[in-house]
Amino acid sequence: MQPREIRELTLEEIDQKLDEACQELFNLRFQTVISQMRDHNRVRAVKKDIARLKTIAHEKRSGMGAS
């Protein structure tokens, strides 16, 4: 998910996307443990998405992203 796409969302939508991404990360880690992981790069991508979501949510909450 691109930062400009995230910035267009409301805080509630960002929080929902963050919950979904955290759940996906949990599932990917679980797949890794039971050796069913097919795409190991997906874990890294989901972690980056979580970081982007948290950063932009923080910007919106603190008023820094008022552009």
Domains and CATH numbers, the chain: 3-61 (1.10.287.310)
Predicted confidence at residue 27, as pLDDT, reads 94
Predicted confidence at residue 35, as pLDDT, reads 87
Q: How far is CA 38 from CA 23, 49, 58, in A?
A: 17, 19, 33
CA–centroid distance for 32 within its chain: 19
Predicted confidence at residue 36, as pLDDT, reads 87
* Position 43 pLDDT exceeds 60: yes
Give residue 43's identity as a one-letter amino acid code.
V
